Chains A and B, each alone.
Chain A
Amino acid sequence: MSKRVGLEASFAAAEAARMADVDVIAAYPITPQTHIPERLAEMVADGELNAAYIPVESEHSALSACLGAAAVGARTFTATAGQGLELMHEVVYIASSMRYPIVMTVCNRALSAPLSVWGDHSDAMAVRDTGWIQVFCQNNQEAFDMTLWAFRVGEDSRVLLPVMVHFDGFHLSHVTEPVILPEQKEVDRFLPRFQYPFALDPDKPMTHGAFGPPEIYSEAKIAQEVAFRKSKDVIIQEFKEFGDIFGRYYHLVESYRTEGAKMLLLTMGSFSETAKIAIDTKKNKGESIGLISLRLWRPFPFEELRQAVKNAETLIVFDRCISFGGPGGPVSSEIRSALYNEKERPKVVSFIGGLGGRDMAVKDFEYVIDRGREIAEKGSKELFEIVGVRGKVTGIRG
């Protein structure tokens, strides 16, 4: 029988990796690392998990070691956050371009300077163009579910792509919540053994990571892009499969009380749950508002997003990252692009908040809704507004 236990999201993700029976874990154990590799190291040492645990000297090496493991067909896992993901950056591109289905959890954190290890989405946004499937979690149950699901999707022979599972640093990674852990036999039913068709084998030599001169590079990249976009079908299919086995159904774009709403708020990650309370409060006061939470960030769910917001007049987009000198937060600029060619589209209002661990309480989301409505009606000279910043901000103009 499945059991309900109190776990922080880091331990939940570690449990998912254990139940997925990973073969190789390579991770760097020092800050900004989380408890995920720490817990997995314990599991390996205690004999609860039969895996090769490789403690490496940097995050760059962590993912490099994962490449080697994946190349021989091992089920491979790593975890990082914030600066660690930045140090890994070069190898992040290589993993997706070589089509290794590595699963990596990223407990989202701010990027220095000023030195910060607190929660923020800057790390995730800095790797949005690297060709990894990226999903965001709202709570600890999802941290478990998405980590397990990530292996199934990434390793599918139609996909063969790495998957990044994002959950918010500290707000989820270090906070204990009830998590339902399934039985091993259910996990085994959902997740078959990884059969990598191109595993390196001395009896069947082949070349991974060959040279790509100018006459072939474009072909290689478009093949990767087409495969990446196609993975969306499998992502949808495996969300359904996951729901059929475990009873929790997920969607690329989640909607909360959006029926007939003229105004929508869009968030990602754990703040979506806080925002839901603000939506409830506003709904109780008779306001026409609903919440959209973006679960899949890459490949971007264009159709699903358009469908979810098509009846709204105003769409308030909340980012946890600044794109310096750009048109707004990365999520809001993406959403504007997704809607630009639509004949009818909601007015998009951009907010940024929750940077570097700054809390966003229910009242802050109520402010975002009120102020968002005001900007939609009267306009604003600024491209976006930062929630809760001290001192009047001017000069953010395009």
Chain B
Amino acid sequence: MTRRRLKTGSDFTWRDMEVGNIVTEAGSAALRRTGDWRSQRPIMDKEKCNKCGLCWLCCPDAAIKLLEDGYYEIDPFYCKGCGICATVCAKEAITMIEEEEK
């Protein structure tokens, strides 16, 4: 998925600041990579998944997407690696691995 380049704080001078630092563009947080401080990441085994959707329901950051075929996919752009999905998965289809592991 291609994402628009997000302006970072360093792109602004003080003159660019909106009154009260208001962000006038709606939904711009979606452009911000918030998954970059993850130390573990979830790996999903499609073979074990029964499409129950518990992981999707429980993800506190909406980092799990429902795919057209009914399976689920984890979006590393937002995933913080909290491991809730792996804990709630009744089929043990999700395992957490260290971020540095390939």
Q: Using a CB–CB distance below 8 Å, which chain A residues touch chain B?
A: 97-100, 160, 197-198, 204-208, 210, 212-213, 215-216, 218-220, 222-223, 226-227
Contacts and interface: CB of A to CB of B under 8 A. Distances in A.
Interface residues of B, number: 21
Given A210-B22, A215-B9, A219-B17, 9 more contacts: A100-B20, A198-B18, A206-B22, A206-B23, A207-B28, A207-B29, A215-B10, A216-B21, A218-B14
Nearest to A157: B19
Interface of B: 8-10, 12-29
B26 A205 contact: yes
Contacts of B19: 99, 160, 197-198, 227
**Nearest 6 interchain pairs by C-beta:** A99-B20, A215-B9, A216-B9, A205-B26, A207-B23, A223-B17
10 contacts: A97-B20, A97-B21, A100-B20, A160-B20, A197-B19, A198-B22, A204-B26, A215-B10, A216-B17, A223-B14
Contacts of A197: 19
B29 to A, nearest CB: 8
A160 B23 CA distance: 16
Nearest to B32: A211
A210 B14 contact: no
A106 B19 CA distance: 26
B80 to A, nearest CB: 16
B14 A219 contact: yes
Interface hub of B10, B16, B18, B22 (most chain A Cβ within 10 A): B22
A207 B17 contact: no
Contact of A213 (B9, B15, B29): B9
A205 B27 CA distance: 8
A206 B25 contact: yes
B17 to A, nearest CB: 4
B25 A198 contact: no
A198 B20 contact: yes
Contact of B8 (A205, A212, A215, A222): A215
Contacts of A226: 14
Contacts of A222: 14
B25 A219 contact: no
Interface hub of B10, B21, B25, B27 (most chain A Cβ within 10 A): B21
Nearest to A198: B22
A99 B24 CA distance: 15
A216 B20 contact: no
Interface hub of B13, B15, B16, B20 (most chain A Cβ within 10 A): B20
A219 to B, nearest CB: 4
B5 to A, nearest CB: 16
B13 A219 contact: yes
A76 to B, nearest CB: 14
Contacts of A212: 21
A222 B8 CA distance: 18
B9 to A, nearest CB: 4
A215 B16 CA distance: 14
A308 B20 CA distance: 34
A212 B17 CA distance: 11
A185 to B, nearest CB: 31
Contacts of A97: 20-21
Contacts of B10: 215
B101 to A, nearest CB: 30
